[in-house]
Chain A
């Protein structure tokens, strides 16, 4: 493998890992506080669709991104309401939301675009960060990425700091590990858990927008194809830590990137096997490599006083 090819592989790994990373970190924060959002998939799809439509209708991808972010708010509030207020089974309600969003976006897509050929959708710009971007070969291939990814990395760093050094971070951790302690300290478990679901929705909306207007500049029906579930798997694989989740996402991204890289290298591996690879890795990851005791103690359990 030449350096050029390796740099391209690295670049596309990062590009393919980006939506998983954005959604995965949001989900990780939510799970740390005890809420499992199976609906990450639906949230991503919602935003992928809404931001694509927004960008197409206004011609401005930034407006599209904002519309994508806003479109997920009701979805996350619905999830938060179901899992906290109605204390619904978080798995079932999440899957319900995914089905609903899949149907709704497909329906709306057919209505808006109909039989029309896939319209040109303006996408988010790529940027080359100074210094890193100027490295020959590697610079453009690896670091020239959609700006949303860099913005997302910024948000992730802030998230890490908040979790580590602020009272909000303590409250989030305690809401998942020992919600009673949060309740008795005078904070509201429900408020914390609503907050993290909305945050997970926000991150998933960035991820969804990245898929449609960031990466391929178009929308296809059900285009998330399980990326949300991979994001959840990456949280488990990453042991509910930011670093671990990030590495897991990069691994899944690299596995996906192989699909495009191996044929280019003339390696003859069945395409289907490569498409399957991230899911297979995810299964191995959640199945063999992680212990149960790592999970937040009350993950998936609605809090009841």
Chain B
């Protein structure tokens, strides 16, 4: 493959990895990965979930020590003793999850860990102002982090790195949480940083970003380097094949959509003839938080039996509040919601379950399951009473029935007694889904971000079960920030922006741009 990047061609590599291997116990996360990073280039690392991208970044940043191979930085051997050492040597990293102190100001967050003794907040604010003009990163130095939007918080993280004047700048999946125009701005920042003679590593699984910004690409799969390219825009199809080990065209529509290819076909099913009864009726739900800020604003929606309605939107626009209210985990400030004739507003989770509403929570580990308990206990957590006589739990029957469900939902585990924490994320999610979807009188399912963190196979399985439930006449409300998934699964999509419904339209891939605009707050 020929080099097309003028900046990257001639110069010696800034950081070289040769045959780097990293193991966690018996699991090999990275296997003999080699990589050259040159000053002035934006180098994208492409790969699916679990391909080893984050591990690779963490090795470069000194979080993990490699078990094999060598690294050299500016021509000398590079063996960082930890993140602090990496930072001191000029390697900075913006992590996938922010680590900002919420009740401190922007300046204080930037100052944390820099220098000793008395703080010079004025000087720091001056530096921030300079960075803002140099790279296009405007920030109010005195704002509290808690008051900032996600995009602004990320800017703080970036500024925290840039103020140290790093030679190598690593960004681990920075665009996952951003709006389209915020993504564009971020990619612009990457370009400017590279143009100033630094090397930028951008981890992503979105091909559009690679097309736009990458000088070179390295593709990881299963911890190995499977392809590199000096001309990513030209080689894009080959890169995709390398990433997923198969031709894009052969993929199931659902799986392809998660890659952000935009080649989504509507694979929606034939809805069964609908009953007269509207299953889920939401009428003007409004949620205000403690500070009096409106998080969910007059949300009104009807979901019919046998219908899947998708709720699209960038995270943090009221989806969590909507799901929490429907699950009985939050009391709305005003508004009501009904299942058939029954008013479920403000009812307890127990009553909501009893009424026939299945809930798949967005935060599986916090709300959906009890990690320290067994698979059998988790898969029947809300129905343990059925296995109880005179207060005594019939564990034999519990294990037997759990085994049946495991088979039906293809939950792979050592057995029903396996600790829930020993299951993979996909199997945990299938178990949670099994629990909620097999409620005896299920008539409505509310699933929030049900595919988060799952691999392609598990995503397909989850949507298979949801479609199957829908085919039985269950009303499904599907909340997801993955627009492509919604487009391929839902019948209808409503878009949430700042707690309000920006618009509703059929789940037609042709209208993706329109929906995207609504997600960004532009009413149609």
Are chains A and B native binding partners rather than an unrelated pairing? yes
B75 interface residue per 8 A CB criterion: no
Determine whether the beta carbon of B102 is less than 8 Å from that of A178: yes
Tell me if B104 and A186 are in contact (CB < 8 A). no
Q: Tell me if A128 counts as interface (CB < 8 A to partner B).
A: no
Interface membership of A126, Cβ < 8 A: no
Binds B, one of A39-47, A66-74, A163-171, A280-288: A163-171
Instruction: Give the distance to chain B from A287, nearest Cβ to Cβ, in Å.
Output: 21
Interface string of A167-183 (1 = CB under 8 A from B): 11011011001101111
A262 within 8 A of B: no
Q: How far is the CA of A186 from the CA of B111 in the complex (A)?
A: 12
In angstroms, Cα B100 to Cα A186, docked, is 14
- B-chain residues with CB within 8 Å of residue A92 when the two chains form the complex: none
Contact residues, A178-205 vs B (CB, 8 A) = 178, 180-188
Contact B104 A182 (CB under 8 A): no
Chain B residues contacting A165 (CB-CB under 8 Å) are 118-119
Contact B83 A170, beta carbon cutoff 8 Å: no
In the complex, the answer to whether B99 meets A180 with C-beta atoms within 8 Å is: yes
Complex: chain A residue closest to B87, CB-CB: A186
Question: Within 8 Å CB of B84, what residues of A?
Answer: 186-188
Given contacts A183-B83, A184-B83, A184-B95, contact A178 B101 (CB under 8 A): yes
Candidate in B102, B113, B119 with the most chain A CB atoms within 10 angstroms: B113
Contacting A at CB under 8 A, from B88-123, are 88, 93, 95, 97, 99-104, 108-109, 111-119
Alpha-carbon distance between A116 and B59 when the two chains are bound, in angstroms? 66
Residues A178 and B100 in contact in the complex (CB < 8 Å), given A170-B119, A186-B88: yes
- A184 adjacent to B99 (CB under 8 Å): yes
Q: Which of B84, B93, B97 has the most CB of A within 10 A?
A: B84
State how many angstroms separate the Cβ of B58 from the closest Cβ of chain A.
10
Cβ–Cβ < 8 Å partners of B116 in chain A: 167-168
With A177-B104, A186-B84, A187-B84 already in contact, the answer to whether A167 and B115 are too (CB < 8 A) is yes
Contacts of A178 in B (CB 8 A): 99-102
User: CB distance B104 to A170 under 8 Å?
Assistant: yes
Q: Mark A29-61, 1 if CB is under 8 A from B, else 0.
A: 000000000000000000000000000000000
Interface string of A272-283 (1 = CB under 8 A from B): 000000000000
Task: Give the docked Cα–Cα distance between A184 and B116 (Å).
Answer: 17
- Contact pattern, B 333-350, Cβ under 8 Å of A = 1, otherwise 0: 000000000000000000
Establish whether residues B114 and A167, one from each chain, have CB atoms under 8 Å apart when the complex forms. Answer: yes
With CB as the reference atom, state the residue of chain A lying closest to B113.
A185
Closest CB in chain A relative to B122 CB, distance in Å: 12
Closest-by-CB residue of B relative to A305 is B63
Please tell me which one of the listed residues A166, A174, A177, A185 contacts residue B114 in the complex, with CB atoms under 8 A apart: A185
B99 touches A173 (CB 8 A): no
A189 to B514, CA, bound (A): 47
B119 in contact with A181 (CB, 8 Å): no
Instruction: Please report the C-alpha to C-alpha distance between residue A178 and residue B100 in the assembled complex, in whole angstroms.
Output: 7
In the complex, what residue of chain A is closest to B109 when comparing beta carbons?
A181
By the criterion CB–CB under 8 Å, are A171 and B113 in contact?
yes
User: Count of chain A residues with Cβ under 8 Å from any Cβ of B?
Assistant: 20
Closest A residue to B161 by CB, please name it. A184
A174 in contact with B112 (CB, 8 Å): yes
Who on chain A is nearest to B85 by CB? A186
Distance from B279 Cβ to chain A, minimum over Cβ atoms (Å): 37
Q: Give the one of A174, A184, A185, A305 with max B CB within 10 A.
A: A184
- Known pairs A166-B118, A185-B113, A186-B88; A174 contacts B101 (CB<8 A): yes
User: Across the interface, which residues of A come within 8 angstroms of B97, CB to CB?
Assistant: 180
In the assembled complex, which residues on chain A have CB atoms less than 8 Å from the CB atom of B112? Answer: 167, 170-171, 174, 181-182, 185, 187
Cα distance A136–B318 in the bound complex, in angstroms: 65
Q: Residues of B contacting A183 with CB < 8 Å?
A: 83, 99
Residues of A within 8 A of B119 (CB): 165-167, 170
Min C-beta distance of A45 to chain B, whole Å: 35
Closest to A174 in B: B101
Which residues from chain B contact A174 at a C-beta distance below 8 Å?
A: 101, 104, 112
What 0/1 pattern do residues 303 to 332 of B give for CB contact below 8 A with A? 000000000000000000000000000000
Which B-chain residue is minimally distant from A184 (CB atoms)? B99
Smallest Cβ distance from B146 to chain A, in angstroms? 11
- A173 surroundings in chain B (CB, below 8 A): 101, 104
Shortest distance from the beta carbon of B225 to any chain A beta carbon, whole Å: 27
- Of all chain B residues, the one with the shortest Cβ separation from A166 is B118
Once the chains bind, are A166 and B99 in contact (CB under 8 Å)? no
B118 touches A170 (CB 8 A): no
Alpha-carbon gap, A170 to B95, bound state (A): 21
- B113's contact among A166, A177, A187, A305, by CB below 8 Å, is which? A187
A235 → B minimal CB distance (Å): 17
| Complex: A177 Cα to B108 Cα, angstroms | 13
Q: Once the chains bind, are A170 and B111 in contact (CB under 8 Å)? A: yes
**Given the complex, which residues of A lie within 8 Å of B118, measured CB to CB?**
165-167
Select the residue from B84, B101, B103 with max chain A CB neighbours within 10 A.
B101
B101 contacts A167, C-beta separation under 8 Å: no
Chain A residues, CB < 8 A from B113: 167, 171, 182, 185-187
Report B14 CB to chain A, min CB distance, Å: 20
Give Cα distance in the complex from A168 to B118, angstroms. Answer: 9
> A residues 141-183 with Cβ under 8 Å of B?
165-168, 170-171, 173-174, 177-178, 180-183
Chain B residues within an 8 Å CB radius of A305: 63
- Chain A 6-43 interface residues, beta-carbon cutoff 8 Å to B: none
Q: Which residues of the other chain, B, contact A171 by a CB distance below 8 angstroms?
A: 112-113
In the complex, residue of chain B having the shortest beta-carbon distance to the beta carbon of A162: B118
B 50-101 contacts with A by CB, 8 A = 63, 83-84, 87-88, 93, 95, 97, 99-101
Complex: A173 Cα to B113 Cα, angstroms: 12
Candidates B95, B102, B111; contact of A167 at CB < 8 Å: B111
Looking at A177, A182, A186, which has the most chain B CB atoms within 10 Å of its CB?
A186
A170 to B101, CA, bound (A): 10
Within the assembled complex, what's the spacing in Å between the Cα atoms of A174 and B93? Answer: 19
Q: Assess the A166–B104 pair: CB atoms within 8 A.
A: no
Residues of B within 8 A of A180 (CB): 97, 99
CB neighbours (8 Å) of A177 from chain B are 101-104
Cβ < 8 Å to B, chain A residues 109-152: none
In the complex, A162→B95 CA distance in Å? 30
Distance in angstroms from A209 CB to nearest chain B CB is 30
Shortest beta-carbon distance from B123 to chain A in Å: 13
Report chain B residues within 8 Å CB of A166: 117-119
A63 to chain B, nearest CB (A): 33
Sample of 21 A–B contacts (CB below 8 Å):
A165-B118, A167-B112, A167-B114, A167-B117, A167-B119, A170-B108, A170-B112, A173-B104, A177-B101, A177-B103, A178-B99, A178-B101, A178-B102, A181-B100, A181-B112, A182-B112, A183-B83, A184-B93, A186-B83, A187-B112, A188-B84
**Besides A166-B118, A170-B119, 7 new A-B residue pairs in contact (Cβ under 8 A), listed by A number:** A167-B111, A168-B116, A170-B104, A170-B108, A173-B101, A185-B112, A188-B84
Interface of A toward B, CB cutoff 8 Å: 165-168, 170-171, 173-174, 177-178, 180-188, 305
Residues in chain B within 8 A of chain A (CB atoms): 63, 83-84, 87-88, 93, 95, 97, 99-104, 108-109, 111-119, 160
Closest 6 A/B residue pairs (Cβ)? A185-B113, A186-B84, A180-B99, A181-B99, A178-B101, A187-B113
